[in-house]
Amino acid sequence: MSFGEVTITLEDVATLTGLAIDGDAVVVDIPDEDWSAMCLRLLGRTPTDLGGGVIRIAWLRETFDELPLSASPETTEQFARAYALSLMGGVLFSNRSGGSVHLQYILLVEDWRRAGRFAWGAAVLSYLYREMDRSA
């Protein structure tokens, strides 16, 4: 690194985001399940324009805008997954599409106990470096 250059470190990510940098690797194992079936199973509904497993963040925000007061535990989990998916696609793992996220990321929050063991900060930094390299 030349004089005057800086880089983002894992410690920076942990400090700025509060995300864990130690833990299990964030790896998505894509099952043989159809994207529409997966979306229905984990979110309770499927958008009409789900193409190639890509979902519009605007649809997530519109559809899961407000959790009903009488929501069941299953509905509450579906809303939480939608929020997490929106956060992943819009902030943590955003890309040039700007308005969509791949449904594969929802598998990371299918089991909340497992999701809590991931090194999210390390994954975010790795993704940032990969995207910067792609755009260079």
Cα–Cα distance, 1 to 11 (Å, whole number):
18
Predicted TM-score of the model (pTM): 0.87
Assigned domain for 84 exists: yes
Q: How many domains does the chain have?
A: 1
pLDDT at 132 over 90: no
Q: How confident is the model at residue 136 (pLDDT cuts 50, 70, 90)?
A: low
Mean of pLDDT values over 78-94: 94
Q: Given the structure tokens 């985001």, which residue do they identify? A: 17
Q: What is the pLDDT of residues 17-37, one digit of tens each?
A: 999 999 999 998 887 788 999
Q: Hey, which residues does 67 pair with through a beta bridge?
A: none
Assigned domain for 37 exists: yes
Q: Given the structure tokens 């470096």, which residue do they identify? A: 129
The domain in which residue 86 lies consists of 27-117
In the chain, what is the straight-line distance between the N-terminal and C-terminal CA atoms, in Å? 17
Share of the chain above pLDDT 70, in %: 96
Assigned domain for 87 exists: yes
Cα–Cα distance, 77 to 94 (Å, whole number):
23
Supply the pLDDT for residue 51: 81
CA angle at 58 for the pair 119 and 41, rounded to the nearest 5° = 65
Assigned domain for 58 exists: yes
Assigned domain for 83 exists: yes
Mean of pLDDT values over 52-58: 91
Q: Is 123 helix (H, G, I), strand (E, B) or coil?
A: helix
